[in-house]
Amino acid sequence: MSGMRGGGRGGRISGGDVEAQRAANATAPKIPDLLKRISQLFAPHRAAITVTIILVLISAAISVFPPLLTKQAFDVGLFPPSGTPNIPVLVELVLLMVALWISSAALGVWQTYLTATVGNKVMGALRIRLFGHLQAMELAFFTRTKTGVIQSRLQNDVGGVAGVLSNTISSVIGNTVTVIAAFVSMLVLSWQLTVVAVILLPLLVIAQRKVGQVRARIATKTQESLSEMTAITQEALSVSGILLAKSFNQQQAEVGRYTRENENQIRLQVSQQMSGQWFFAMVNIFLSIIPAVIYLVAAWLINGGTDVTAGTIVAFTTVQARLMFPLLGLLRVALDLQTSSALFARIFEYLDLVPAIVDRPDARPVRPKKLGQVQFDDVVFRYPDAPADSPATLKGVSFTIEPGQFAAFVGPSGAGKTTVSYLIPRLHDVTSGRVLFAGDDVRALEQDSLVRNIGIVSQETYLFHATIAENLRYAKPGATDEELTAAARAANIHDTIASFPDGYDTVVGERGYRLSGGEKQRIAIARVLLKDPAVLILDEATSALDSLSERVVQTALDAASRGRTTIAVAHRLSTIVAADVIFVVVAGRVVERGTHPELLAAGGMYASLYEQQVQGA
């Protein structure tokens, strides 16, 4: 299983580092700050929001009238002082009410359309921002954070907020309308009864805040557990994960791991749904007993000589009942918002991560004149998340590779050879010293320009689940079919591809698993040839292959390295005997350098390594 190298190495490091980072960021987001940031997201949609608010006000104005018309229907139409119902007036009132309700409903649909559009656009923009931001993060971020945890932020958190937001805006707006309208009609009908109806509302608001805080806490835990589940799924159900589990008979253990997190998730979901149930029950009881209380108070008012008609009481209790659902809806939304503020906080937390490796403001493109020259000047490097007291991975490495040279790095595993190759395209930045590309410190160069000039073929080839042609064009989007075949020929893979029924349109399986290691590797070489970089880095490109495939791939690599600077991290010394210069790396230092004959003659580390391998062969 070769998935443990480079990026993969961090794959199983726990998400605890992110938690640690979160603790370090420890400025727990305050709700007002959050609201400010959330409202900034809506800034581009001011026009649509203004229209929505106008629509809301119109709807509000419209829906004040029907209850007042109800009162008229009773007091003037049905039970006029004359004693007989006044049909013409009644018909007029009913028609008017119908017209008002129809226009209010139509406005409601329009509002929903606007709010749904705005809500989804805002979320879409947020998702893209987050994805783009993550693309800019340095490699080290991905080696220390579980892939599933990152995916979960993008999918579960943004997705969770998206649902809430588009529901929320329309619900807030729609319900606010009804509540305001109902409240105004109630006031017009009878201020005394209104006081009775709303006297306990402040209590509800206080209770709602408490419940909201509890829910937000549970929501954070739920999202953490969800991201852990995504991480487990992502690890266990990937091709490498399944291979690993099957080959070590660990399927049951994986199921167990998933089960534990799943149980945690169930518990959290239940407590999230249950928190606030007592609150809502209380609200329900409260709202249902109000009409009864109103009859009593009305009787008391009438006895006291206040003018309260039957129409007033019917209209009032109708409106009051209509107040109930929107009010519940608003309380629910306030809760949802508090809950989703936890999700927003998680999203903003990622957006606030500062990429460690970015272009300087004065960054310039690579100088073409010395293209291909690579120098290390007393480079010390320590992995960003390595323990502070551990020795540095590179302890003062210096060398110069001239344009067009073939340089090889050899030495025991873990010596730091791959690390050397990572510092050239700035996958990491040096701790001290300088890495120079074409004579310039790589930190002073535009990353685009630098990376365009460097090609990497590593031990673990990554191919997308797409056709071979699409995988090749990743290196050069506009490449013609002729260019593809030329590169494939040079990489010794054209005949193989041509022999597939679908040729270049053959879809390679998840991570290219339907191809043999050697075939994948040669496709990767063809891909790098299309890029045509000035510097080619070969990181143990053949060491995962059997000797037959190795020979075929080696021929392809020899062709690929012609005419450009090549830096080969080599395990099998037989592949680098012809190198212009060989560096022997031991424990983060270059301990020997020279050509193969020179190093053999010197009789040092290289000579004994070579001796061992020749004997082993």
Q: For residues 472 and 484, is the Cβ–Cβ distance under 8 A?
A: yes
**DSSP letter, residue 414:** T
Q: Which is nearer to ligand ADP, 203 or 386 (CB)?
A: 386
Q: Minimal CA–CA distance to 124: which of 149, 171, 151, 161?
A: 161
Distance of CA 412 to the CA centre of its chain: 38
Q: Least separation, in Å, of the C-beta of 458 and ligand ADP?
A: 10
β-sheet with 454-458: strand ranges across: 454-458, 535-539, 565-569, 406-410, 581-586, 589-594
CA dihedral 81, 84, 87, 88 (to 10 degrees): -50
CA distance 139 to 144: 9
Q: What share of the chain is helix, strand, coil (3-state, %, to 5)?
A: 65, 10, 25
Please say whether the beta carbons of 6 and 418 come within 8 A.
Answer: yes
Query: What is the dihedral sign for C-alpha 322, 328, 334, 336?
Result: negative
Closer residue to ligand ADP, CB minimum distance, 10 or 326: 10
Residue 415 vs 584, nearer CB to ligand ADP = 415
Nearer to ligand ADP, 184 or 569 (CB): 569
State the minimum distance, in angstroms, from the CB of residue 6 to ligand ADP.
Answer: 7
Question: Closest approach of Cβ 485 to ligand ADP, in Å?
Answer: 34
Tokens of 419: 């690390």
User: What is the C-alpha separation between 278 and 276, in angstroms, rounded?
Assistant: 5
CB of 456 to ligand ADP, least distance (A): 13
Q: How many CB atoms lie within 10 A of CB 25?
A: 12
What is the smallest separation between the CB atom of 248 and ligand ADP, expressed in angstroms?
22
CA end-to-end distance (rounded Å), the chain: 23
Residue 71 or 426: the one with the smaller Cβ distance to ligand ADP is 426
Q: How far is the CB of 610 from ligand ADP (least distance, A)?
A: 17
Q: Shortest approach of ligand ADP to residue 412 CB, angstroms?
A: 7
In whole angstroms, what is the distance from residue 502 CA to residue 542 CA? 27
Which lies closer to ligand ADP via its Cβ, residue 175 or residue 393? 393
Measured from the CB atom, the residue of 59 and 393 that comes closer to ligand ADP is 393
Q: Is 506 helix (H, G, I), strand (E, B) or coil?
A: coil
Q: Which is nearer to ligand ADP, 336 or 539 (CB)?
A: 539
User: In the bound complex, what is the minimum distance in angstroms from residue 462's beta carbon to ligand ADP?
Assistant: 17
**Rounded CA separation 362/275 (Å):** 54
8 A C-beta contact, residue 201 and residue 179: no
Cβ 7 vs Cβ 139: under 8 Å: yes
How far, in Å, are 56, 485, 488, 489, 538 from residue 553 at the CA level?
69, 17, 12, 12, 12
Q: Which positions ≥6 away from 238 have C-beta within 8 Å?
A: 510, 511
Classify residue 353 by its DSSP letter.
Answer: P
By beta-carbon proximity to ligand ADP, the closer residue of 356 and 386 is 386
Rounded to whole angstroms, the Cα distance separating 231 from 15 reads 9
Tokens of 132: 């783009």
CB of 426 to ligand ADP, least distance (A): 15
For ligand ADP, which is the closer residue by CB, 142 or 474? 142
Closest approach, Cβ 421 to ligand ADP, in A, equals 8
CA distances to 89, 282, 383, 385 from 388, rounded to whole Å, are 87, 55, 10, 8
The residues that touch ligand ADP, with contacts defined as CB under 6 A, are 9-10, 143, 383, 385-386, 393, 413-419, 569
Q: How far is the CB of 570 from ligand ADP (least distance, A)?
A: 10
DSSP letter (8 states) at residue 230:
H
Decide whether 16 or 85 has the Cβ nearer to ligand ADP.
16
Under DSSP, the state recorded for 367 is: P
Q: Residue 386 Cβ, how far from ligand ADP at the closest point, in Å?
A: 5
Count of other CB atoms within 10 angstroms of residue 586: 14
Q: Which is nearer to ligand ADP, 217 or 395 (CB)?
A: 395
By C-beta, is 110 or 383 nearer to ligand ADP? 383
d(Cα 580, Cα 596) in Å, to the nearest integer?
8
The answer to whether 334 and 31 are in contact (CB under 8 A) is no
Please say whether the dihedral angle defined by the alpha carbons of residues 489, 492, 498 and 500, taken in this order, is positive or negative: negative
Q: How far is the CB of 265 from ligand ADP (least distance, A)?
A: 30
Query: 139 or 490, CB closer to ligand ADP?
Result: 139
Nearer to ligand ADP, 308 or 427 (CB): 427
Burial grade of 353 (CB within 10 A; 0-12, 13-18, 19 or more):
middle
- Name the minimum Å distance from CB 44 to ligand ADP: 39
For the bound state, the minimum distance from the C-beta of residue 130 to ligand ADP, rounded and expressed in Å, comes to 23
- Tokens representing 194 are 């209104």
